[in-house]
Amino acid sequence: MSPALTERSDSELAALALAGQQGAYGELMRRHRDAVFRLARSHAGDATEALDITQETFVAAFSALARYDGARPFRLWISRIAINKCHDWARRRAVRRFFTFARPMEAAGSVADFAPTPEEAAQSRAELQRIHAAIVALPGNLKDVLVLRAIEGASQVEAAQILGISEKAVETRLYRARNKLAEQLRDDGSGRV
């Protein structure tokens, strides 16, 4: 890849991609794939599913690139698409579960890890898994705000723009998400918060 692409802004890269420069697509993906993946993983609770959602997000974004407004941050635009893809995934999963009576994705968290690890590392992973499962179990509107603000570090203004809601609604949902998360962690039977 040409070093010139790494120095370009997202809006310049979008314009170059629309003009047919394949490297510009690659650079946009390189810049934003980790954030999109984290967003997808927080919804799916599974790395493989999150990878599929991430790919779907970029395919949809690149096919709709002509509608991207270069005056707005690309990160906000791609995050909105990712959240929509997560919601699509959740709807498809609900339909599959209904018709196949499959066990929920959350049940996969109880599968033992047989790899030998030190006790502290095992406790840390278990705690992280417990927290991750609690985040996945949050209602979508609360999960979106929590992930964008607490995990992705989006500002209140950015989260409001991505989700298409007011800044006050972001603040309220974040407060409710944190309370619900604390409640779930307290009530999960482990006795720990």
Taking the CA atoms of 89, 95, 98 and 102 in sequence, report the sign of the dihedral they define: negative
Residue 191: what pLDDT? Answer: 46
pLDDT, tens digit (0-9, with 9 covering 90-100), for 135-188: 888 888 888 888 888 878 888 898 899 899 999 999 999 899 888 888 888 877
- Rounded to an integer, what distance in angstroms lies between the CA atom of residue 49 and that of residue 55? 10
As a whole number, the mean pLDDT across the chain is 82
pLDDT at 118 over 80: no
Cβ(40)–Cβ(57) below 8 Å: yes
* C-alpha to C-alpha distances, 74 to 131, 151, 185, nearest whole angstrom: 29, 18, 34
Residue 122: what pLDDT? Answer: 65
Mean pLDDT of 125-132: 77
Instruction: Note the pTM of the prediction, 2 decimals.
Output: 0.59
Residue 52: what pLDDT? Answer: 92
Cβ(44)–Cβ(105) below 8 Å: yes
Mean pLDDT of 82-105: 71
CATH domain 116-188 topology: Arc Repressor Mutant, subunit A (1.10.10)
Residue 140: what pLDDT? Answer: 85
**What is the residue extent of each domain of the chain?**
1-109, 116-188
pLDDT at 3 over 70: no
> Would you state the structure tokens that stand for residue 108, as one six-digit string?
């996969």
Higher pLDDT, 29 or 193: 29
Give the CA angle between residues 157, 41, 150 to the nearest 5°.
35
Residue 57: what pLDDT? Answer: 94
- Of the candidate CATH numbers 3.40.309.10, 3.40.50.1950, 3.30.1330.60, 1.10.1740.10, the domain formed by 1-109 belongs to 1.10.1740.10
Q: State the greatest distance between any 2 C-alpha atoms of the chain, in Å, as a whole number.
A: 57
Give 148's DSSP letter: I
Residue 9: what pLDDT? Answer: 92
Residue with tokens 């690149």: 62
Residue 88: what pLDDT? Answer: 87
pLDDT, tens digit (0-9, with 9 covering 90-100), for 30-56: 999 999 999 999 888 888 999 999 999
Taking the CA atoms of 90, 93, 98 and 99 in sequence, report the sign of the dihedral they define: positive
- Rounded to an integer, what distance in angstroms lies between the CA atom of residue 68 and that of residue 86? 20
Residue 166: what pLDDT? Answer: 93
